Structure 1
Amino acid sequence: MNQLPNSIEARDVAFQLHAYTDARKHEANGPLVIESGEGIYVEDNNGKRYIEGMAGLWSVAVGFGEKRLVEAAARQMEKLPFYHTFTHKTHGPSVELAEKLVSMAPVPMSKAYFTNSGSEANDTAIKLIWYRSNAMGQPERKKIISRVRGYHGVTVASASLTGLPNNHRSFDLPIDKILHTTSPHYRTMKNVGESEEDFAKRCAQELEDLILAEGPETIAAFFAEPVMGAGGVVVPPNGYWEAVQPILKKYDILFVADEVICGFGRTGNMFGTETYKLEPDMMTLSKALSSSYLPMSALLVNEKVYGPVADESHKIGVWGHGYTASGHPVAAAVALENLKILEERDLVGHVREISPTFLKRLNGLASHPLVIESRGIGLIGAVELAHEELSKTPGALGGKTNMAFQERGLISRNMIDALAFCPPLIITEQQVNDMFDIAEAGIEDVAKSL
């Protein structure tokens, strides 16, 4: 029998397949092993400390090591470690969390349905939309529109919504009935001489043109993030949502706001829906809902969606959908405590207070010759890089810069050649400056190496 590897790095390479990773490159380079975290910082197994500039995966709102969340999990684990929400059964934490989320929603919502990830929430939304169309005697109304560069998850259906090539390549995606419209990224998609407002109107017109070309009676829903996250932190241009929403209403197309990243304070309001005055019929929530201490996500639906679904389930005798861990009592208890912390510490107000410093430092990076654009809102942003020497290999410059950040003690994420910043909401002004000091030095390190 072969001897097993001893180090955690070697064992990882031997046994684990990683998300969003070049598997062969990982075999050669191995992982960064994070062992602990406190506040905005994490520490690796060699004792090196990093600013977690991505809040893990856009998600650890209250920071690492929050004892109240640990205690909430322990209390619930002792009382009721698991129960389900199938077949007329429930438990206290799921009821309380559903009530809390429906009451928090910035537009009228009727019901909450719990899932375990943003991907599952969006996947469930698709199923509900199709189910509703059948319930309403509109079996042809099944097509769903999302946007190029939008990100909605990685299940077969939600990855089809996602408008990023690497989520489709070699997966035989997107599936049928999923359409994509123009990305609202002004710098890359504008016509020569086109103003931001005119570009926003053109995006809306191209959406309407797509609806008319496919047939309005075949279009069921439109999915969109208030601010695009994994597609590069694309902030919508002025007038975009004001132009898009009337088109959806004109053709009675459901609007699903993907709040997985934007929700719970990230944009300076509790929801991105408030920041951009959106009126969605459905909202998908995850990440900062529980600060990702445990897997938890939710789909909120209004009465316009719920009513036909409820009628159809009564006609059939069952709504034949569910996940074992939907509304898991421990995850729900943690989410409830997390929301209490967000409110008690006024972290949304803190985001508004700290955002000017964050955006000033973010936009200050744009003066560097390698940076072609900075963009952000609240406590989420990105800088996009370009250099002629690496232009033939998209992502090479971003990856090199990401590693330069990491070497200096900052964890970011490169989305091709855009570097993202999405720190825990608890970050202080001094820590914002520390983060961008490292980013400035890291970009300069790369510039000197070229």
Structure 2
Amino acid sequence: MNQPLSNFQMRDAEALLHPYTDAVALRTTGAQIVDRGEGVRVWDQSGRSYIEAMSGLWCAGLGFGNAELVEAARVQMERLPYYHLFSGKSHDTAIELAEKLKAMTPGQMARVFFQSSGSEANDTQIKMAWYMNNALGRPQKKTIVSRKKAYHGTTLATASLTGLPGNHTDFDLPMPGIRHLSTPHFWKEAQEGESEEAFVARLAAEFEALIEAEGAETIAAFIAEPVMGAGGAIVPPMGYFPAMSAIARKHDILTITDEVICGFGRTGEWFGAETVGFEPTSMSMAKQLTAGFVPLSAVAINGEMAEALEANSGKIGTFGHGFTYGGHPVGCAVALKALEIYERMDMPRVVQAMSPRFAAHLKSFEGHPLVGEGRSLGLMGALELGPNGRREGFAKPGKVGAKMVGELKDRGIIARAVVDSIVFCPAMTITEAELDEVFGAVGPALDATLDWAKAEGHI
């Protein structure tokens, strides 16, 4: 039975329209009003604490309340609280951060372009690919290839790249010029008796067939997350990205790695592309770039792209793209401090050391009647729920997942349901004891959810 809404919850319902939320249902349940955070925990307005096992929205990689990041923002705000990068203007923090990202990223990145969000970064990627091909005299080379269950943002263009039905329904999306390949989820999508090698070969053949049908001269880029985040923390077979990279390279198709979630140590390397063998011509970064403390995103492009874009701007007199807050000095200062902390901690090593414990916890639930798969890479992972562990899922998708997340919340853990995948992405600074606390709540939550699912006829 729902409790009466608090004053803040009633005000929230009258003032805010929430992303990814059933606004009608929220008037009954009320929003969870979060008051403060420290370490891996947040507190609501009643004073109850929760382990934030999703790092907010995949971004608080250093947890909450980091004093060094707060101080970096304060110092920068006193010196230069705002400036822009339009019309040949610049400032030292943007320059230093761009240099730092060039040095860190794989694939010989040559230039960095700043925005405020991951959606804006991937929107920039599309525009850069189109601009580049026009500059090179290839006006037909414009199609962008994404994947089902991919998540690349919510602008008109990036929501079209996103391969999730909820991002398209009643928004009249996807827009033309976007294609979606199959999801590289072996457990869920493999055919009966198919090996991982055969599964990868089939998905690679699908890419080749698309190129053959559409014509390589029409396809500009292939964009992919190393691990599919909002699609359910889907980890591809390890041969998948080398195969897809080779096909793209053969047909002169740009390869865009979306590192918005996977970047800065999350997968056990500095970038997810390095972990999975993806060879990028450009990269999108956000979220953990500033550890979530302030909005900032970055696109890094290789030398070939940079040369084409810069030459064309000279030809027509401008590169007519940008954002008011792109390269915001406070964002850049906080990002520089976050990168300094990541390097000081040797964050990839920290994640490598913790990830076996994380993976073991997830795998330990595979015998439960509700769990089909426990999967992870680095400190991203999920439990795939299904009736008696079957991969075809429930008759009413999403109901059981939502109940499971509610049971975890009742036990002081904030996780996320992606339909019936229960997703975990804790701060990379989480301790063994805190990780054990998270998964100590999972077993009882699964049992309670199972009882409810049986009573409601979902099993």
Q: TM-score scaled by structure 2?
A: 0.95
The answer for the alignment partner of 1:430 in structure 2 is 433
Which secondary structure state, in structure 2, belongs to the residue aligned with residue 146 of structure 1?
strand
> Displacement, 1:259?
0.5
> Do the aligned partners of 1:268 and 1:378 also contact (CA within 8 Å) in 2?
yes
SS at match of 2:320: coil
In structure 2, distance between residues paired with 1:448 and 1:142: 51
Task: Name the aligned partner's letter for residue 423 of structure 2.
Answer: A
In structure 1, the partner of 2:312 is: 312
CA distance in 1, matches of 2:212, 2:411: 52
Q: 2:420 aligned with 1:417, yes or no?
A: yes
Amino acid at match of 1:110: A
RMSD between aligned residues: 1.3
| Structure 1 position 387, deviation (Å) | 2.7
Q: Distance in 2 between matches of 1:221 and 1:6?
A: 49
Provide the TM-score with structure 1 as the length reference. Answer: 0.97
Partner of residue 172, structure 1: 172
Moved over 4 A (4+): none
The yes-or-no answer on 1:407 pairing with 2:410 is: yes
Local SS of the residue matching 1:300? strand
Give the Cα separation in 1 of the matches to 2:23 and 2:8.
17
With 232-241 and 194-203 compared, the bigger mean Cα shift is at: 232-241
Q: Note if contact 2:226-2:259 (Cα within 8 Å) is conserved in structure 1.
A: yes
Q: Counterparts in 2 of 1:352-391, with a 5 A limit?
A: 352-387=352-387, 391=394
In structure 2, the residue matched to 1:246 is: 246
The residue matched to 2:277 in structure 1 has which SS?
coil
Residue 242 of structure 2 contacts residue 279 of structure 2 at CA under 8 Å; is this kept in 1? no
Counterpart in the other structure of 1:204: 204
CA separation in 2, counterparts of 1:180 and 1:391?
A: 24
Once the two structures are TM-superposed, the CA of residue 6 in structure 1 deviates from its matched residue by 8.0
1:387–1:397 contact (8 Å) kept in structure 2: no
The one-letter code of the counterpart of 1:100 is K
Percentage of identical aligned residues:
47
Q: For residue 442 of structure 1, what is the aligned residue in structure 2?
A: 445
Q: Structure 1 regions of 5+ residues with no counterpart?
A: none
Aligned runs of 1:264-275 on 2, under 5 Å? Answer: 264-275=264-275
Which deviations, in whole Å up to 9, do the C-alpha atoms of 1:34-90 show, x marking residues without a partner? 101111111100011001000001110111000111111011011011000000100
Residue 229 of structure 1 corresponds to which residue in structure 2? 229
Give the C-alpha shift of residue 345 in structure 1.
1.6
How far has the Cα of 1:278 moved from its partner? 2.1
Distance 1:348 1:40 in 2: 18
Counterpart for residue 193 of structure 1 = 193
Query: Which residue number corresponds to residue 141 of structure 2?
Result: 141
Alignment length, in residue pairs? 446
Aligned partners of 2:255 and 2:238: how far apart in 1? 20
The alpha-carbon deviation at position 188 of structure 1 amounts to 2.1
Tell me the secondary structure at the aligned position of residue 43 of structure 1: strand
Instruction: Name the structure 2 match of 1:24.
Output: 24
Q: 1:248-287 alignment to 2 at 5 Å?
A: 248-287=248-287
Equivalent pair of 2:34/2:44 in contact (CA under 8 Å): yes
Letter in 1 for 2:195: S
Shift of 1:406: 0.4
Question: Is residue 241–residue 278 contact of structure 1 (8 Å, CA) maintained in 2?
Answer: yes
Deviates more, 1:33-42 or 1:384-393: 384-393
Deviation of 1:392 (Å):
2.1
Structure 1: distance between partners of 2:347 and 2:241: 26
1:445, 1:175 → 2: CA distance? Answer: 42
Mapped partners of 2:277, 2:403: distance in 1: 38
Structure 1 residues 303-340: Cα deviation after superposition (integer angstroms, max 9, x where no partner): 11111111111111011111000000001101110111
2:13, 2:229 → 1: CA distance?
Answer: 29
Which runs of 5 or more structure 2 residues have no equivalent in the other structure? 455-459
Q: CA deviation at 1:107?
A: 1.9
Report 1:29-40 matches (<5 A).
29-40=29-40
Contact kept in structure 2, 1:197 and 1:238, CA below 8 Å: no
Separation in 2, partners of 1:441, 1:350: 29
